[in-house]
Structures are given as C-alpha cells and as structure tokens.
Amino acid sequence: MFHELLYRPILNLLVFLYDIIPGHDVGLAIIGVTLVIRIILYPSFHSSLKSQKALQELQPKMEALKVKHKDDKQAQMKAVMELYKEHKVNPLSSCLPLLIQLPVMIALFSVLNNQLPKTTIEGLYGFVSNPGTLEPVAFGFLNMAQPHTILAAVAAILQFLQTKTLMPKREPGVKLDPTANILQKQMLYFLPVMTFIIALKLPAGLPLYWAATTIFAILQQLIIRRRSQPPGVAVKEGA
C-alpha cells in the first residue's frame, strides 16, 4: 500500500519533472516535487498555521488562567480547555502537517536511495516518459544521493527561522510562565539541531526537500499574518 500510495506517485512526479525541466536537473525536480506536495496539502498546512496563530493570540489569556489557578492544576487545565473550546481552537491540529510530512519524506528517501544509484528506473506509469537514468548531480555540483554538510546546515538554519517565526509574540506586561519559556527555547534550538544531525546522514535530496518546504512554510505563515493584520499595522516575528 505504501509503495502504491506514496512511493510510486512521488517517483513518477520526480521523473516527470526531471524529464521536462531544461537541463534535467534533479535538484530543481525535487524543489518542484516540494511545491506540488505543498499545493496538494495546502488545506491542512493552512489550517495548521491559522490554528498556531490563534494559539498565539490566546497566549495572554492562557497565562492569566495559569496565574488564576496556580494552586489547582486540574482547574487550570479545565479552564484552558474551555478557552480552546470557546475560541474553537484545536492545539493538536498544529501537529498534523508534520505527521503528514513524515511518510512523504520516507517515500522520497526511498526514491532517492533506490533510484539515483541505479542505471535504470523502475516503477514508472505508462504515461511517464523514461529518461533512462536520473543524474544525481544537481546545480552542477551537489550529489543528491550523498549527504552534504552545507545543505544540512541550510536546512537547520531555515528550521530555526521557521520555529522563531511561529513563536508567539510577547505581549507588553504579560509574564511568560517559566516552564513555557523553557519549552519555547528548547523547541527553538532543539529542532534545528536535530534537523542538522539527521540531515547529515541522509541523501542531500532530503535536506533540499526540507529546506524548500520550510521556505514555503515561512512564506505562507507571513502571508497569513499579513492578511490578518489591520491596515497600517506592521507584521512582527516571534520574540
């Protein structure tokens, strides 16, 4: 099922784009695959980003509830859940895109790992032209079948920027809960570090995909913020 639902569609999309792109650059084909996936999954990504923004806006009220019920964790949790319900916010929806991305990345890893080293391409649909082989070198110098330190670092830096962009703004006069503050800082630095460590061991095509999808995510987040801002109000990134 995995092979037919994810592996073959991604393989065929990659080969199709590789075949029609001038110069047959597999790096550009991977970026094209990323764009197509972002478009297909746009509703879930958009819903997740809107949910994250709603959570940011509720942050001051959540902090106030934590102060109000600081001696009763059960009452605090109940009050927070009622706040979510009142504003129709699902805190778990922000995790959906990541859960969707994981099988996609596994499929792309399998495609790169299985096809780039080979001299023949197997598993193509009848309507997809077979170029014979996929040249693994992208942009004239990057081997997509081998790990690449600089590309791993770029993916990590972009992950840092995205995480920082998604962090809630610190409202004047609102004191952030120490535990929440620690968790925010851990997420800010932990995700980029883990991205770098993992990307170092993967074919360069994976960190290229992750870097491209992160750029698209940052742009989408900025667009959502700009559209939701009243006229004349500047868009601010997370503090």
Q: Burial of 214 by CB count in 10 Å (0-12 exposed, 13-18 middle, 19+ buried)?
A: buried
Average pLDDT of the segment spanning 114-127: 82
CB 108 within 8 A of CB 33: yes
Domain coverage including residue 100? 2-228
Quote the CA–CA distance of 7 and 163 in Å, as a whole number.
Answer: 29
What is the count of structural domains for the chain?
1
CB neighbours of residue 198 within 10 Å: 15
Quote the CA–CA distance of 26 and 22 in Å, as a whole number.
Answer: 11
Would residue 27 count as lying in a domain?
A: yes
Structure tokens belonging to residue 183 = 């968790």
Would residue 129 count as lying in a domain?
A: yes
Q: Give percent of the chain above pLDDT 70.
A: 84
Looking at residue 68, its pLDDT comes to 83
Structure tokens belonging to residue 220 = 């989408």
Would residue 237 count as lying in a domain?
A: no
pLDDT, tens digit, 9 for 90 and up, residues 35-72? 999 898 888 777 777 777 777 778 778 878 878 887 88
Residue 5 has, within 13 A of its CA and on its CB side, a CA count of 6
Would residue 97 count as lying in a domain?
A: yes
Looking at residue 199, its pLDDT comes to 94
In angstroms, the Cα distances linking 104 to 37, 63, 101, 134, 188 are 9, 36, 5, 20, 24
Dihedrals φ, ψ of 138, to 5°? -110, 150
Quote the CA–CA distance of 130 and 191 in Å, as a whole number.
Answer: 38
Would residue 183 count as lying in a domain?
A: yes
CB proximity list for 196: less than 8 A, separation 6 or greater = 152, 153, 155, 156
Would residue 141 count as lying in a domain?
A: yes
Would residue 233 count as lying in a domain?
A: no
Would residue 214 count as lying in a domain?
A: yes
Whether the per-residue pLDDT at 174 is higher than 60: the answer is no
Looking at residue 48, its pLDDT comes to 76
Looking at residue 168, its pLDDT comes to 59
